[in-house]
Amino acid sequence: MKLLFQADDFGLCESTACGILKGIREGVIRNTGLFVNMPASEYSAKLIKDVKNVCLGIDFNLVAGKPVSDPALVPSLVDAKGDFIPSGERMKKMKSLSDTMRADFETDPYPYDETVLEIENQLKRFIELVGRKPGYLHGHSLITNNIVKAIQAMSEKYEIPVSFNVWKEKELYMLPCEWTPKPFPIEQQLATNVEANLMSVLPQVLDHELNVFVCHAGFAEEELFKYSSYTIIRLKDLAAATSPDVKKFIEMNQIELITYDDLKEN
């Protein structure tokens, strides 16, 4: 049995980067995606670019901070201050959210031309910061049809796998993570026992050859609250990812922790 354990949002702020790095060094995290458009992005890239036992991908971020592109070239993606329109604002106009986490709108709020421009500029920025291409491409927060098309275009152009495609093509079983809804009130985050929840679903790994679990591990700081509604839960995700019980279960059951790079070789 193999488990691809992924933590999103590396570099959203310094605290998320430092927390995920702890989860890599002391826990079971083996894949993480870098945000490249945030104030902490350069700092975060320096922290992780030479770490060996992790696959570093990119999390394409269109909902927090400022775009890598000139805001004038992506007017539909930003507000009057030139900041990305937050996902919470976008969700107010959303019709539904599919089982594949794709957001459904009357009209896609992410025009393809603007979206593919920004996504490619974020990819180029990753290469500048890290010195190589990302190990995988991953969409952050809201995912719409145009965002999917833009990411797929970059996958084909730069020959980099897309996380969602890998899961589907390699038939990875996604461990359920029903305890992290969106929106996720902070009171509910405080009451959530992530370690217990993770331990309750980990036995499902034993029934499948390939598995994937995605979390949002990290430390927390005031800066985080500006950009994300997932705050306290990151501390609990990190505690679960470094839990002695979680690590013992994985070791005792001879579950191999894998990366996207491992799946490329198969």
Sequential pLDDT tens for the chain (266 residues): 999 999 999 999 999 999 999 999 999 999 999 999 999 999 999 999 999 999 999 999 999 999 999 999 999 999 999 999 987 777 766 655 544 456 666 788 899 999 999 999 999 999 999 999 999 999 987 889 999 999 999 999 999 999 999 999 999 999 999 888 878 899 999 999 999 999 999 999 999 999 999 999 999 999 999 999 999 999 999 999 999 999 999 999 999 999 999 998 66
Query: CA separation (Å) from 168 to 174, 212, 231, 241?
Result: 10, 11, 29, 24
140 within 8 A of 63, measured Cβ to Cβ: yes
Q: What is the pLDDT of residue 69?
A: 98
| Cross-strand bridge partners of residue 103 | 97
Q: Which ranges of 185-231 does DSSP label H, i.e. alpha helix?
A: 186-191, 194-201, 222-227
Distance, CA of 40 to CA of 10 (rounded, Å):
9
Sign of the Cα torsion 192, 29, 17, 128 reads negative
Question: Could you give the domains of the chain?
Answer: 2-264 (3.20.20.370)
Burial of 221 (0-12, 13-18, 19+ CB in 10 A): middle
67 within 8 A of 38, measured Cβ to Cβ: no
Q: The pTM is what?
A: 0.93
Distance, CA of 136 to CA of 7 (rounded, Å):
13
Q: What is the pLDDT of residue 143?
A: 86
Q: What is the pLDDT of residue 88?
A: 73
Tokens of 180: 């992290």
Which residue in 177, 234, 235 sits closest to 211, CA to CA? 177
Type of residue at 51: V
Q: What is the pLDDT of residue 100?
A: 47
Locate tokens 């790079």: which residue? 261
170 within 8 A of 89, measured Cβ to Cβ: no
Residues in contact with 52: Cβ distance below 8 Å, sequence separation at least 6, in sequence order? none
Tokens of 129: 């910061």
